[in-house]
Structure 1
Amino acid sequence: MPTHENPVTEVSAPVDWRENAKNLTAGAAGGVAQVLIDIVKVRLQTQTSGSAVSAARNIWAKEGPAAFYKGTLVPLLGVGACVSIQFGAFHGFRQLLESYNERNNHESRDLSLTQFYLAGGAAGVTNSVISGPVEHIRIRLQAQPHGAGRLYTGPLDCAKKIVGVAGPAGIYRGQVVTLLREFHGYGVWFAAYEGFMALLQAKTQTKREDLPNWQVAVCGGLAGEALWLLSHPLDVIKSKMQSDGFGSDQKYRNMRHAFQLTWSTGGIRGLFQGIGPALLRAMPVSAGTFAT
């Protein structure tokens, strides 16, 4: 009988090739979906004031509907792989923690929510080696001026120009804040999902494999909302650093400086600029990823 349990949190029988394919497909689908409205979030974080609706209206009016897909080629190729890496890495780290629990005579080999957070965070760090440069290129393409002021013709041209100005290390600009965001964000994501699932099972007195798909999806969607609510300030700083100029045009010396300037000009509101599109995207994307 097919189950509704998320494949990455299933305990602990060996996963066959069909389950691996399911994990990869779920990760890729979630990764592809999450880039499609991302330009509004990036514009709010890096350039404009006002609401998400006004930002979207301006993009449509000045750049046309195709602009909402600006910078999506690299994410379409890379973000699906990134999410798949997260799921695979999470599965591996979860098994290590289960073995640790078993060796240390814990009452159960099952993970605590703190351990789920650590496993999710470690998976996020593993993934950041790829997600850092992928998102850097995407953000530059999405934040660049339109028309005659355009800086890059596409992702390859963007990567070449970054390397030409800043060397190969330039591709990894903002990597420290990326590591922090990935660790904390995906730690929250996996731990929140497990926490919501445990609450649902306790409330309904239902085994996990017997829960309907829509309830699993709701838990996944709420976990996505928790991810962005608790990691969005790090994402704002990352976007600011990765859209910043080079050389004499560089505004932010480092992550700390970016936080200081953002706080001095916008306060707490500045650290949550673009949260609306992030939350709007998070619910369906995360719900679909966990329920697939």
Structure 2
Amino acid sequence: MTIELEEPPLTHDNNQVFKDLFAGTMGGIAQVLVGQPFDTVKVRLQSAPEGTYNGALDVIKQLLKNEGPRGFYKGTLTPLVGVGACVSVQFSVNEFMKRYYDKKLGGQPLSLLQFFNCGAVAGFANGFLASPIEHIRIRLQTQTSTKAFNGPIDCFSKIYQQQGLFGGIYKGLIPTLFRESVGLGIYFATYEALIARDLAKDRSLTRADISSLKLCLYGGLSGYTLWIGIYPVDVIKSKLQTDSLSKPTFKGSLDVIRSVYGSSGIKGFYRGFIPTILRAAPANGATFAVFEITMRMLG
């Protein structure tokens, strides 16, 4: 299948990588500010023992009652810096791969599979950065009355002291790499397909003519396809990354799968799905819109 892009937004000037990185960082900051409250609810649902909460609304009520509105933004500093960096890597590697294919194909339009490949490479590269950042963020998000960590640096230090680099800081790396590779392949391919559909309808349009509202809509739809495709893997990752540091329950992903399926069946792999889907549209819509608008401003 070939997606006809009338005017592919692929340039090869020396400053392009820096533009991609900066625009990606702006998109990542927007994603965190919009999506953090949803993500906190999702992580609490995913990681809490069975019966702790009666659903997303119960998490919200308990958060407001016990921790106040600021509880929704627990651990925000880590994702604000970290997700900014992660989204920067995602978009810059994806754009680099698009330019690679553009050069290889001599300017011919990329196929849907090639767009998927671009996103998958971006996801794999990003996984090595996302894994430790998300691990620290999740530890901070799931702190309640007992405060084990005094911020991201203290959290990093304590995890490293107890379990080292690969057994501790990079815990959950394998499911993170799988989630990022497959998920971002779907994510970027969906977005490019929607953009191409608009350009095919009206060949007088260029990518820069697509409105901010449509960019938000297409980003939101891409977020839906991402999470529908890989959500159970995210649950496995979260279970690993919230396991006890001193007396871990799980040896790896297979242990998590057996435990979740044994206690809750298939539905156990979809705990926290509703707040994730509710988050997907605004957070990813903001991400893509801010990225595209920043790129237009940079020229």
TM-score normalised per structure 2: 0.85
- Range 28-37 or range 120-129, more displaced: 28-37
Residue 214 (structure 1) aligns with: 213
Residue 185 (structure 2) aligns with: 187
Residue 37 (structure 1) aligns with: 38
Deviations 1:58-92 (A, max 9, x none): 11112222211111121112111110111111111
- Range 275-284 or range 46-55, more displaced: 46-55
TM-score normalised per structure 1: 0.87
Deviations 1:192-218 (A, max 9, x none): 111222233344566343332212221
Q: 1:159 aligns with which of 156, 159, 180?
A: 156
Deviations 1:212-251 (A, max 9, x none): 221222111100111111111111111000000135x211
Residue 105 (structure 1) aligns with: none
Residue 271 (structure 2) aligns with: 273
> Cα distance 1:110–1:25, how it changes in 2: closer, same or farther (>3 A)?
same
Q: 1:288 aligns with which of 280, 286, 289?
A: 286
Rounded to whole Å, the distance in 2 between the matches of 1:19 and 1:246 is: 40
Output aligned runs, 1:64-213, within 5 Å: 64-102=68-106, 109-144=108-143, 146-147=144-145, 149-169=146-166, 170-203=168-201, 207-209=205-207, 210-213=209-212
Query: Is 1:46 aligned to residue 47 of structure 2?
Result: yes
Query: How far off is 1:30 after superposition?
Result: 2.5
CA contact (8 A) 1:27 1:80 kept: yes
> Cα distance 1:272–1:65, how it changes in 2: closer, same or farther (>3 A)?
same
The one-letter code matched in structure 2 to 1:167 is: G
Query: Is 1:63 aligned to residue 67 of structure 2?
Result: yes
The one-letter code matched in structure 1 to 2:11 is: S
Which secondary structure does the structure 1 equivalent of 2:161 belong to? Answer: helix
Which secondary structure does the structure 2 equivalent of 1:37 belong to? Answer: helix
The one-letter code matched in structure 1 to 2:136 is: I
> Cα distance 1:96–1:163, how it changes in 2: closer, same or farther (>3 A)?
same
Query: How far off is 1:163 after superposition?
Result: 1.1
Rounded to whole Å, the distance in 1 between the matches of 2:267 and 2:204 is: 41
Rounded to whole Å, the distance in 1 between the matches of 2:124 and 2:183 is: 10
Rounded to whole Å, the distance in 1 between the matches of 2:242 and 2:92 is: 30
CA contact (8 A) 2:82 2:133 kept: yes
Rounded to whole Å, the distance in 2 between the matches of 1:39 and 1:95 is: 36
CA contact (8 A) 2:24 2:84 kept: no
CA-based RMSD: 2.2
The one-letter code matched in structure 1 to 2:283 is: V
Which secondary structure does the structure 2 equivalent of 1:132 belong to? Answer: helix
Rounded to whole Å, the distance in 2 between the matches of 1:276 and 1:61 is: 21
Rounded to whole Å, the distance in 2 between the matches of 1:289 and 1:25 is: 8
CA contact (8 A) 1:35 1:76 kept: no
Query: How far off is 1:150 after superposition?
Result: 2.2
Deviations 1:129-167 (A, max 9, x none): 2111010011111123x22x3221221221111111111
Instruction: State the percentage of identical aligned residues.
Output: 37
Output aligned runs, 1:252-271, within 5 Å: 252-271=250-269
Q: Which has the higher contact order (CA 8 A, sep 6+)?
A: 2
For structure 2, list consecutive stretches of 5 or more residues without a partner in the other structure.
291-299
Query: How far off is 1:286 after superposition?
Result: 1.2
Rounded to whole Å, the distance in 2 between the matches of 1:80 and 1:143 is: 21
Which secondary structure does the structure 2 equivalent of 1:152 belong to? Answer: coil
Rounded to whole Å, the distance in 1 between the matches of 2:75 and 2:153 is: 11
> Cα distance 1:290–1:242, how it changes in 2: closer, same or farther (>3 A)?
same
